């Protein structure tokens, strides 16, 4: 009979090895503009009220945290980057060091998970999405945004982009994780390398 006991030491060693591939996410005009567009659309689908609990997964240096703070939301930013943590704390934002795939948050505790350009850094996105669903309350909202593969920017070649998947694949993984995709938005724009595309998904926890 096959022994199905799982030994996670190799996974832990692998995660330790790739930890050095984390890089700081400095503010950029493109990301700031898209963040504002995405937040505006979010409030049309999921009105934000003071006191709502929000976790910004992969918060970078805080472009969305500034918005959540201004709306008097009960927010928390998480990131693995020490430089990003320092930048956020210098602005007075609440932020912690955490892996997106192992959120140390209670089940059914969050109203909103904001996850811009973080899921492509997951080595197992299906597992990561399951974790997002675990910490969201029933009827809570996930905003997920990821870069398209095979654009002029070739996001799939970035050192710690492990999951740059087609749009249909993201939809399938979201639905299999127990989310209903209420709407999506394509962000198409030009950069020095050429044309680029991001995809945003507004997802309700069923």
Percent of the chain with pLDDT over 90: 92
Per residue in 64-93, pLDDT tens? Answer: 999 999 999 999 999 999 999 999 999 999
Q: Average model confidence (pLDDT) for the chain?
A: 95
Ordered structural domains, the chain, with CATH: 25-205 (3.40.50.150)
Nearest to 162 by CA among 8, 18, 27: 18
Map tokens 């950029």 to a residue.
28
Predicted structure pTM score: 0.95
């Amino acid at each position: 009979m096959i022994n199905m006991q799982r030994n996670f030491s190799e996974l832990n060693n692998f995660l330790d090895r790739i930890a050095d591939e984390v890089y700081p996410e400095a503010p950029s005009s493109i990301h700031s503009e898209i963040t504002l567009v995405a937040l505006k659309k979010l409030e049309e689908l999921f009105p934000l009220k003071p006191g709502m609990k929000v976790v910004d997964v992969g918060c970078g240096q805080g472009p969305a945290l500034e918005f959540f703070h201004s709306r008097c939301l009960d927010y928390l930013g998480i990131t693995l980057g020490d430089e990003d943590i320092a930048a956020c704390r210098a602005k007075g934002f609440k932020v912690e060091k955490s892996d997106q795939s192992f959120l140390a948050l209670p089940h059914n505790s969050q109203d909103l998970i904001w996850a811009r350009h973080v899921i492509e850094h997951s080595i197992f996105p299906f597992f990561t999405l399951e974790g997002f669903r675990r910490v969201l309350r029933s009827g809570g909202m996930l905003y997920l945004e990821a870069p398209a593969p095979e654009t002029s920017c070739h996001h799939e070649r970035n050192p710690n982009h492990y999951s740059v998947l087609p749009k249909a694949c993201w939809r399938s993984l979201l639905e299999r994780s127990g989310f209903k995709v209420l709407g999506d938005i394509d962000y198409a724009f030009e950069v020095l390398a050429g044309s680029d595309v991001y995809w945003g998904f507004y997802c309700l926890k069923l």
